[in-house]
Amino acid sequence: MNTLKRPNVVILGAGYGGLMTAVNLQRTLGVNEANITLVNKHDYHYQSTWLHEGAAGTIHHDQIRIPIKDVIQSNKIDFVKDTVVEINPKEKKVKLENGELSYDYLVIGLGFEAETFGIKGLKEYAFSIANINSARLIREHIDYCFARYNNEPEEKRDELLTFVVGGAGFTGIEFLGELVNRIPQLCQEFDIDRKKVRLICVEAAPTPLPGFNQQLVEYAMDYLEQRGVEFKLGTIIKECSPEGIIVSKDDEVEEIKAKTVVWAAGVRGNSIVEKSGFETMRGRVKVEPDLRAPGYEDVFVVGDCALLINEEINRPYPPTAQIAIQMADTCAANIAALVRGKEEEIQKFVPNIRGTVCSLGHDDAMGIIFGNRKLYGTQAAIMKKIIDNRYLWKLGGLSLVLKKGKLKFF
Amino acid sequence: MNTLKRPNVVILGAGYGGLMTAVNLQRTLGVNEANITLVNKHDYHYQSTWLHEGAAGTIHHDQIRIPIKDVIQSNKIDFVKDTVVEINPKEKKVKLENGELSYDYLVIGLGFEAETFGIKGLKEYAFSIANINSARLIREHIDYCFARYNNEPEEKRDELLTFVVGGAGFTGIEFLGELVNRIPQLCQEFDIDRKKVRLICVEAAPTPLPGFNQQLVEYAMDYLEQRGVEFKLGTIIKECSPEGIIVSKDDEVEEIKAKTVVWAAGVRGNSIVEKSGFETMRGRVKVEPDLRAPGYEDVFVVGDCALLINEEINRPYPPTAQIAIQMADTCAANIAALVRGKEEEIQKFVPNIRGTVCSLGHDDAMGIIFGNRKLYGTQAAIMKKIIDNRYLWKLGGLSLVLKKGKLKFF
């Protein structure tokens, strides 16, 4: 291959899928094999599966993010801090806010957006745990509500201490797990009686974590209810306003006054993907088995923007960090094969679901590992921290684990 | 004296004047000489001269407050946590929110309130550095403005990072001194360019700290201006709204958009005092030389509710902690004399102004000590911390200095 005509590999997004693809390529390809460019809105990568902890204020947001320069070698990969505006796959170009890039091979790893299903006021008035900026905004907003409480006339105060979480999926439950740890600290900090604080979880399905093992779900619900969480199951949010939410269950409508509503009930792929002309379902591209976008030999999609069907149950795999990281392995290997002209080495992506652990604050959790083994309590909480640290190891080795890892096991 | 008819001494307010009076009486009087009751809204005393540090977030509010039980001996003084509603000096009764107390001798030490001079919107929309609750509200409000910045559309953001301090008196200048330390930390915490932040001080007088030595005033202004403070002198606040303030100077009107306006330009005595029928000027009782309220042999007034004329310049002494603490000495001695039936031992209050030091953040200050010696910079900052610790020593000895003192000199 002519080193003067090294192909341009452009990676959009430095989330789990994009950054891990970049790191894999950095390890696989020699400096002269390709020009690799990584584009990201921020100069840091963040762990979206830890954001709920930053939002609750139980860990600092700096532990959640990693400077991109700490894991990318600048002699192998160019980093461009910019925001993607649109992709033009016909002309093989990417339009950025401050420029344009041409590619030979493209990796789309632009992540998720909140899906509000058109519910009135949700986009405007509810918070979502979407990124570092929004997570620390939620943290500060909660603190601010506590700080205001003792400065308000009696009749105006209750809604300041009512916190609504929309959705009892993974994010909702894990966020509530952090809040039940955090709320007593805040009560102490701001001289407020714990009994004044309400934590309400509204979920449209009849059970939290639909599809998850029922015994584990009950464990999580019991744990959270004992710590003051009120579950409103089978309940739909009709509207959100600065004053709170309106919900309905079996045609009964109720208003819940709350200054804090966190929407954690739906994600979709980045809307840039559909705006760029790819065929999507909720912003996600139904990828080929080798992770390429249908009809585009040179475009790979990884992470939350990729839709992959689990043939066993004929339903999409949930968009998790675990799968995004595994996709990055296959995607990097396939790009390396293409760069080297060895098309026959293109692999199919085969997810390997090692387990799913849902944290319930710092010192409790529940989940399934090794296919069917249930874990609860301390054991599960330790396993969750091992999973979190394992990713850091994969991304940046021991030094990154020591810098950003969850090392206080108890 | 018959121990069965011990007189009731009631002290209203546990600020500098009230609490120090209580502590002095606790040291002077035997258990059988009087029933002493201290009434306070909170179960803690706070140092109002440190509140601006809590408001800026440079020290935690728990360092500013002291649990009353830590300095009061329960066998000598009854503590009642309640809010004073009204005093009835004719019937010698005090009405509380949850009860009523009768007294033989009363000490009024109910502290200050913000004086907004009827400026439109100031009471509703400006913050004031008045107590622990309002100070930590300001801290959280500032944090929240920073947290919101990166979540807002570009054109709506500037006012979030514009902070207006109304008044360049002692509190205003000291608060600005803390803010110039704190703002760079907040910029780092929330990924914001320091240049985006505006700190504006509006003062109606042509100079900050009117009446203070001009050389020292210039030192303070230079210090603050070099760190980004914009002074608008000879400028009047006409109106305050949720959007900011409207000011005027020489008939030129300007609107300053700001989400944070802190009013630090005026204090007055507690309005309960005038509501109770005492003759007051801005809530302050012009006390007799022995600190009694005119016409009431059994009512003493200390601290910010007491007005005392400095005969040398025929103007009132400023309401400072220094004077409140000294008043408490005289007040306690006079009450002890009355309790013991030794009216001839009643003393006149003679203030002893040892010096005035104005802090400019943690590591700078300026002021005058020993009547005319000017102090700047490090020396002055150390002197300020010695003054702060000295009060703690007087109130609770070494153990209180170690618990709450400012021990990090540099």
For CA atoms A289, A293, A294, A296, the dihedral sign is negative
Q: DSSP assignment, residue A109?
A: -
First-last CA distance in chain B: 54
The whole-angstrom separation of Cα A53 and Cα A129 is 10
Residue range A184-199: mean pLDDT, rounded: 97
For CA atoms A304, A309, A310, A315, the dihedral sign is positive
Ramachandran quadrant class, A355 (left: phi over 0; alpha: psi -120 to 50; beta: rest) = left
Tokens of residue A362, six digits: 């710092």
The residue of chain B with its CA nearest to that of A60 is: B189
CA A2 → CA A25, A32, A339, A340, B27, distances in Å?
19, 9, 11, 11, 93
Query: Distance (Å) from the C-alpha of residue A321 to the closest C-alpha of chain B?
Result: 24
Give the pLDDT confidence of A95-106 residue by residue, as tens digits: 999 999 999 999
Give the pLDDT confidence of B136-172 residue by residue, as tens digits: 999 999 999 999 999 998 777 899 999 999 999 999 9
Measured torsion, CA atoms of residues A19, A25, A30, A31, in degrees rounded to the nearest 10: -30
Among the listed residues B138, B204, B198, the one whose alpha carbon sits nearest the alpha carbon of residue B166: B204
| Contacts with A21 (C-beta within 8 Å, 6 or more apart), sequence order | A11, A107, A109, A300, A302, A328, A331, A332, A335
Query: Distance (Å) from the C-alpha of residue A43 to the closest C-alpha of chain B?
Result: 11
Q: Does B32 score more than 70 pLDDT? A: yes
Give the pLDDT confidence of A245-299 residue by residue, as tens digits: 999 999 899 999 999 999 999 889 999 999 999 999 999 999 999 999 999 999 9
Q: Is A97 on the interface with B (CB under 8 A)?
A: no
- Any bridge partners for residue B9, and if so which? B36, B105
Q: Give the nearest partner residue to A133 out of B137, B144, B150, using CB atoms.
A: B150
Among the listed residues B371, B351, B357, B353, the one whose alpha carbon sits nearest the alpha carbon of residue B302: B351
Q: Is A139 on the interface with B (CB under 8 A)?
A: yes
Q: Which residue has the higher pLDDT, A404 or A409?
A: A404
Please pick, among B33, B113, B174, B178, the residue that the annotation labels catalytic.
B174
Ramachandran quadrant class, A341 (left: phi over 0; alpha: psi -120 to 50; beta: rest) = left
Asked if B141 and A147 come within 8 Å (Cβ–Cβ), the reply is yes
The whole-angstrom separation of Cα B54 and Cα B135 is 6
- Percentage of chain B modeled with pLDDT above 90: 90
Among the listed residues B165, B166, B47, the one whose alpha carbon sits nearest the alpha carbon of residue B116: B166
Tokens of residue A94, six digits: 């990417």
* Kind and range of the H or E run holding A35: strand A35-40
Give the pLDDT confidence of B201-213 residue by residue, as tens digits: 999 999 999 889 9
The owner of tokens 């009230």 is B18
Among the listed residues B134, B119, B127, B115, the one whose alpha carbon sits nearest the alpha carbon of residue B259: B127
Residue range A83-111: mean pLDDT, rounded: 97
B17: amino acid identity, one letter:
G
The whole-angstrom separation of Cα B396 and Cα B19 is 11
Query: Distance (Å) from the C-alpha of residue A134 to the closest C-alpha of chain B?
Result: 7
Minimum mean pLDDT among A313-317, B56-60, B301-305, B360-364: which range? A313-317
Give the pLDDT confidence of A297-306 residue by residue, as tens digits: 999 999 999 9
Residue B1, pLDDT score: 45
* Cβ-contact B126, B240 below 8 angstroms: yes
The number of beta carbons lying within 10 Å of the beta carbon of residue B218 is 13
The whole-angstrom separation of Cα A225 and Cα A169 is 16
> In chain B, which residues have their Cβ closer than 8 Å to the Cβ of A128?
none
Q: How confident is the model at residue A1 (pLDDT cuts 50, 70, 90)?
A: very low
The number of beta carbons lying within 10 Å of the beta carbon of residue A123 is 13
- DSSP conformation letters of A274-312: HHTT--EETTEEE--TTSBPTT-TTEEE-GGGEE-EETT
Asked if A148 and B137 come within 8 Å (Cβ–Cβ), the reply is yes
Give the pLDDT confidence of A14-27 residue by residue, as tens digits: 999 999 999 999 99
Residue B168, pLDDT score: 97
Tokens of residue A180, six digits: 């039940």
Please pick, among A33, A53, A113, A174, the residue that the annotation labels catalytic.
A174
Q: In this complex, how many residue pairs, one in chain A and one in chain B, have their CB atoms less than 8 Å apart?
A: 39
Residue B4, pLDDT score: 59
Asked if B133 and A151 come within 8 Å (Cβ–Cβ), the reply is yes
Tokens of residue B5, six digits: 């008819």
Q: Residue A206: is it exposed, middle or buried by C-beta count within 10 angstroms (0-12/13-18/19+)?
A: exposed
- Give helix B170-189 / helix B132-149 axis angle, nearest 10°: 40
- DSSP conformation letters of A375-403: EEHHHHHHHHHHHHHHHHHHHHHHHHHHH
The whole-angstrom separation of Cα A46 and Cα A60 is 12
Q: Does A5 score more than 90 pLDDT? A: no
Q: Which residue has the higher pLDDT, B408 or B348?
A: B348
Q: Is B143 on the interface with A (CB under 8 A)?
A: yes
Q: Is A144 on the interface with B (CB under 8 A)?
A: yes
The whole-angstrom separation of Cα B173 and Cα B177 is 6
Q: DSSP assignment, residue A31?
A: T
- Percentage of chain A modeled with pLDDT above 70: 99
Among the listed residues A37, A66, A36, the one whose alpha carbon sits nearest the alpha carbon of residue A50: A66
For CA atoms B40, B46, B47, B52, the dihedral sign is negative
The whole-angstrom separation of Cα A296 and Cα A281 is 17
First-last CA distance in chain A: 54
* Cβ-contact A79, A69 below 8 angstroms: yes
Minimum mean pLDDT among A210-214, B38-42, B214-218: which range? A210-214
**Three-state DSSP class for residue B305:** helix
> In chain A, which residues have their Cβ closer than 8 Å to the Cβ of B186?
none
Q: Which residue has the higher pLDDT, A312 or B70?
A: B70
Q: Does A69 score more than 60 pLDDT? A: yes
Q: Is A102 on the interface with B (CB under 8 A)?
A: no
Q: Does B48 score more than 60 pLDDT? A: yes
Tokens of residue A281, six digits: 């379902």
Q: Is B93 on the interface with A (CB under 8 A)?
A: no
Q: CB-hemisphere CA count at 13 Å for B389?
A: 16
For A127, phi then psi, to 5°, come to -85, 155
Q: Is B190 on the interface with A (CB under 8 A)?
A: yes
Query: Distance (Å) from the C-alpha of residue B289 to the closest C-alpha of chain A?
Result: 37
- Any bridge partners for residue A315, and if so which? A310
CA A47 → CA A62, A76, A359, B269, distances in Å?
11, 23, 15, 53
Residue range A172-190: mean pLDDT, rounded: 98
The whole-angstrom separation of Cα A120 and Cα A261 is 13
The number of beta carbons lying within 10 Å of the beta carbon of residue B213 is 15
Beta B373-376 vs B365-369: how paired, if at all?
A: antiparallel
Q: How confident is the model at residue B311 (pLDDT cuts 50, 70, 90)?
A: confident
**What domains does chain A contain, in order, with CATH numbers?**
3-41+82-114+267-352 (3.50.50.100), 123-263 (3.50.50.60)
What ipTM does the predicted assembly reach?
Answer: 0.91
For the question of residue A154 being annotated catalytic, the response is no
Residue A203, pLDDT score: 97
* Cβ-contact B302, B331 below 8 angstroms: yes
Average pLDDT, chain A: 95
Among the listed residues B387, B370, B375, B382, the one whose alpha carbon sits nearest the alpha carbon of residue B410: B382
Q: Is B148 on the interface with A (CB under 8 A)?
A: yes
Query: Distance (Å) from the C-alpha of residue A150 to the closest C-alpha of chain B?
Result: 6
Give the pLDDT confidence of B377-389 residue by residue, as tens digits: 999 999 999 999 9
